[in-house]
Structure 1
């Protein structure tokens, strides 16, 4: 399908960091070599989108910016050289827009830290729009009958937590804690259970802990005095801890929940406070603990994470909304009141 050069689309656009997004009419992009044009069906709203628009991270996004990196839709146009996808295919676009494929990190299967990598909805236009362009090699083809609204959060919340759990090294039957049962955490609980792990859910909200219980969590802990002692006494500590919350206290707590030899995985990214996190060197050294960062997922992680969801083992709790409500949704995320995942119904 070929589109006129002057064709336009609706999109939510950020022009200055910290400002509200503006719903505008902008040109529909055209796919270049190796790219596809996607008619967006749905786009999940991630806390990272809020951080991007608020300018919370050291490297600012490219402005003007169309955010959104949990994108599902259908291919409507192929750029030259694209042979693995066809017009009409259902696809998903994750945070990792592209990687060079040739550096030492890409060759080692760590394309998530490629120094030439691009990010959807950050350095490249994302899915808060009716159409977007993406490299064909980095999108995930999904089943034609897939629920593209339910699948959208898997493109970030799913693949990110799935990779984090893999990087924890926890084995079936062992204990992992998920700190923060929000957009990422409620999906992490499901991936952990699907991987045969026992799960302790930790949050400040009893409502979110109740959600974790319905999703299969084996133990629930409200953040407060005594949570560390309770977990160490009754469960012997955690083999792995996945931090999806954005409060610095969550990152500090994670190390105290580990049993000897355990691993804390940092996923959530606190806006403007990451450098303030403190940990006990004595505890890390004497118990031989590990602290690892986990940054989204590789293409292989993406396909594996999508397969879990397609098999019905993982399903995001989705609340549908519209592009016109985006600024209100951002404020709800800032206040920590969103349950599950907000998904924009674009098409």
Structure 2
């Protein structure tokens, strides 16, 4: 989301947890959609539809909702890897609306170099929680339950 803002985009954040919705608002999301209460595709369409939707949730329903929010000529970029690994793409809507569905392995070395430059210039924030290495099993459980705010960094010296 931070990179979309740097590029001048209007962005929307969609989630099903209060903490992540609050984080999106804190980071400056133009639109925050609680998918427990509202249909994300319908909300995005009310705002004209998304030029691009980046699917980061490991839930196939989230991919469908992101697709439903695309405007004519929009692109669904699939990044996350849902367990079953399939989505249904409506052929009629895809052809008539000229939408695209593409995959992304996240980034290249050049992309990473640019990310580091933006961060070094103070244009982005890394949201993380530091934990001792001894908490690795509990931390993995927290990630699987979606109970972390953003990222976990293990402190190798903590707890010695």
Alignment TM-score, normalising by the size of structure 1: 0.44
Structure 1 runs not aligned, ≥5 long: 1-188
Q: Report if the CA contact (8 A) 2:53-2:75 is conserved.
A: yes
The Cα offsets for residues 134-191 of structure 1, whole Å up to 9 and x where unpaired, read as xxxxxxxxxxxxxxxxxxxxxxxxxxxxxxxxxxxxxxxxxxxxxxxxxxxxxxx111
SS of alignment partner, residue 11 of structure 2: strand
Give the superposition deviation at 1:303. 0.4
2:45 to 201, 217, 232: 232
Q: 1:218 — aligned with what?
A: 30
What is the root-mean-square deviation in Å for CA atoms of aligned residues? 1.3
Name the residue aligned to 1:336: 146
Q: CA deviation at 1:206?
A: 2.4
Deviation at 1:232, TM superposition (A): 0.7
Aligned residues: 156
Bigger Rg, which one: 1
Distance across 1 between alignment mates of 2:67 and 2:140: 30
| Displacement of 1:330 | 0.5
2:6 corresponds, among 169, 194, 204, to 194
Rounded to whole Å, the distance in 2 between the matches of 1:253 and 1:279 is: 11
Aligned to 1:129: none
Pairing 1:305–2:118 present: no
In structure 1, the residue matched to 2:20 is: 208
Counterpart of 2:82 (choices 261, 267, 270) is 270
- Asked whether the 8 Å contact 2:127–2:150 carries over to 1, the reply is yes
| TM-aligned CA deviation for residue 226 of structure 1 | 3.3
Whether 1:290 and 2:100 are equivalent positions in the alignment is yes
- What stretches of structure 1 move > 4 A for 4+ residues in a row? none
Kept in 1, the 8 Å contact 2:43–2:69? The answer is: no
TM norm structure 2 = 0.92
For residues 63 and 74 of structure 2, what CA distance do their matches in structure 1 show? 14
In 1: Cα distance, 2:8 partner to 2:62 partner: 24
CA contact (8 A) 2:42 2:68 kept: no
